C-alpha cells in the first residue's frame, strides 16, 4: 500500500519554490491517489500533467499498482486550507457555521486562527421610518466553521 506521507513528501518537494500549494491529498485502500493543488494565479492542465508525471516517476509501479488523479481545487468546493482564504480576499464567499448559520459577504481579513467577512444588511434605526443599509464585519475562528465557499456571480 502506498503511504500518504510518501506521496505528500513527493508533492511538497515538487511544489516547493513555486506559486502552487497542496490543497488535498487522498489515498483509498485500493491505491487511488487524488491530489488537489491551487495557486493564486490558477492552475493549468499542463502543470497538473507535469506533477502527475513527476509522481509516477517516483513510485514504482512494479511494487504498487495505483490510479493517480491530479487536479486543481474546485472553484465552488469548500476551502480546505488557509491559502485558499488568502487567495479569495476581497471576493464574495458563503460561510456556513457549525451552528447552522449561513452568511454571504466579502472576505476582508485572513489570520492564523480566524478570518473576517463584511456583510451588508438593512436595519431600521430607532426613531426612523426608513430602513438603512449598513456594513457589518463578522469574525470567525476556523473551528466554528463547517465550510466556506467562493460565490460565483454573473452580473
Q: Kindly report, residue by residue over 13-25, the tens digit of the pLDDT.
A: 999 999 999 999 9
In a domain, 99, yes or no: yes
CA-to-CA distance for 152 and 49, rounded, in angstroms? 27
Q: Given this model, what pLDDT does residue 132 score?
A: 87
Q: Given this model, what pLDDT does residue 131 score?
A: 87
Residue 53: its H or E element: helix 45-58
88 and 57 belong to one structural domain: no
Q: Given this model, what pLDDT does residue 64 score?
A: 86
Strand order in the sheet with 92-97: 132-141, 114-123, 102-110, 92-97, 145-150
Q: Given this model, what pLDDT does residue 89 score?
A: 97
Q: Given this model, what pLDDT does residue 123 score?
A: 86
49 and 97 belong to one structural domain: no
Does the reported pTM lie above 0.75?
A: yes
Strand order in the sheet with 67-72: 20-27, 32-39, 67-72
Q: Given this model, what pLDDT does residue 48 score?
A: 97
68 and 89 belong to one structural domain: no
Can you give the residue range of the structural domain that contains 124? 82-150
As for how many domains the chain has, the answer is 2
DSSP code of 65?
-
Sequence-ordered list of residues with C-beta below 8 angstroms from that of 71, at least 6 positions apart, any chain: 34, 35, 36, 37, 48
26 and 54 belong to one structural domain: yes
Q: Given this model, what pLDDT does residue 153 score?
A: 85
Q: What is the block-wise mean pLDDT of the chain (155 residues), using blocks of 10 residues?
A: 93 96 96 96 96 94 91 92 96 97 97 97 84 93 97 86
Going by DSSP bridges, is the β-strand pair 92-97/102-110 parallel, antiparallel, or unpaired?
antiparallel
86 and 67 belong to one structural domain: no
Amino acid at each position: 500500500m502506498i503511504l500518504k506521507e510518501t506521496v505528500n513528501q513527493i508533492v511538497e518537494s515538487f511544489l516547493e519554490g513555486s506559486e502552487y500549494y497542496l490543497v488535498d491529498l487522498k489515498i483509498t485502500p485500493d491505491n487511488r491517489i487524488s491530489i488537489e493543488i491551487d495557486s493564486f494565479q490558477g492552475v493549468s492542465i499542463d502543470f497538473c500533467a507535469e506533477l502527475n508525471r513527476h509522481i509516477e516517476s517516483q513510485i514504482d509501479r512494479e511494487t504498487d499498482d495505483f490510479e493517480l488523479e491530479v487536479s486543481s481545487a474546485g472553484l465552488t468546493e469548500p476551502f480546505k486550507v488557509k491559502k485558499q482564504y488568502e487567495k479569495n480576499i476581497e471576493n464574495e464567499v458563503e460561510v456556513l457555521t457549525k451552528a447552522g448559520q449561513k452568511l454571504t459577504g466579502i472576505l476582508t481579513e485572513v489570520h492564523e486562527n480566524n478570518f473576517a467577512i463584511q456583510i451588508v444588511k438593512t436595519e431600521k434605526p430607532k426613531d426612523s421610518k426608513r430602513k438603512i443599509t449598513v456594513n457589518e464585519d463578522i469574525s470567525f475562528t476556523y473551528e466554528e466553521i463547517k465550510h466556506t465557499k467562493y460565490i460565483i456571480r454573473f452580473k
